[in-house]
Amino acid sequence: MSVKIAFQGELGAYGHQACVEARPGHDPLPCDSFTDAIEAVRKGDADLGMIAVENSTYGRVADVHSLLPESGLHIVDEAFVRVHVNLLGKKGARLGDITAAHGHPVILPQCSVFLRDHGITPVTCSDNAKAARTVAEGDDMTQAALASELAAEIYDLDILAHKIEDHDRNTTRFLIMSREPDYKKRGEHVMMTSFVFRVRNIPAALYKAMGGFATNGVNMTKLESYMVGGTFKATQFYAEIEGHPDDRNVQLALEELDYFTDYMHLMGVYPSAARRHER
């Protein structure tokens, strides 16, 4: 029986590329949305989920951090995918003929300079691979898609322009989710711990909660806030730190955090990816 990894998008999406690179032994399972990908793992239709969380050019992927804590899944790994944006057109199309390029709202700003310089209108699409498929199935030679080389191969499109992203280090980070946590796994580099929390309603609670990480020498690599419950009264924080909960300094920092919070949930413990440490 094959093992499967779910991702958001159609075959040829960057999530598909992430699955191929990070889990080559798994069969990719395309899903319409991040919610569907998470649900596929929860129901057992997939063994793992590949969830995009942030891009080095665009920033945070909307809504993902609010989805993860409620998913019931655990982060067991991370993957960084170098995103090369390519302009894909129908067989025989020429760059000078293209008037519109279709892509996901996250990818359009990543190649805005190229599109502007060539007078190409960006058009929003729910998925880059879907954009590639739509261009391939249509008969309009002026329409193009912004997608991966993998999408060009799958949908038999010509690459009219290679690597048109504005920044030469354009990278998307993915989290690999599982139904079960794996706290025993160790990697070549530092371990990462992800968690969400809400601070108690006392003055300077966030400042005091963060103090334990500073005094115990724990490096916090990410701290983001977002509203919960549809109101402006409840703010939840998503955090990532270097270290393992078994490490004594991490234990002390989390104990201090617990004192100033009314909710804390461990999201996952996983090895940091090699690309995180590239200069």
DSSP secondary structure letter of residue 233: S
What is the mean predicted confidence (pLDDT) over 89-106?
95
CATH topology of domain 191-272: Alpha-Beta Plaits (3.30.70)
- Kindly report the CATH number that applies to the domain delimited by 86-161: 3.40.190.10
Residues marked active site are found at 172, 174
Q: Over 80: is that where the pLDDT of 42 sits?
A: yes
**What pLDDT is attached to residue 61?**
78
- Where does CATH 3.40.190.10 sit in the chain? 4-83+170-178, 86-161
Query: Quick one: pLDDT band at residue 167, thresholds 50, 70, 90?
Result: confident
**What dotted CATH number matches 4-83+170-178?**
3.40.190.10
Task: Give the Å distances, CA to CA, from 12 to 174, 198, 269.
Answer: 16, 38, 29
pLDDT, tens only, 194-247: 999 998 777 888 898 899 999 999 999 999 887 776 666 667 899 999 999 999
Residue 186 has pLDDT above 70, yes or no: yes
The answer to whether the pTM exceeds 0.85 is yes
pLDDT at residue 188 tops 90:
no
In this predicted structure, what is the pLDDT of residue 216? 97
CATH 3.30.70.260 in the chain is located at: 191-272
- The residues, any chain, with a CB within 8 Å of residue 195's CB and separated by 6 or more, are 238, 239, 264, 265, 266, 267
* Through-space distance between the first and last CA atoms of the chain, rounded to whole angstroms: 40
Cβ-contact 118, 164 below 8 angstroms = no
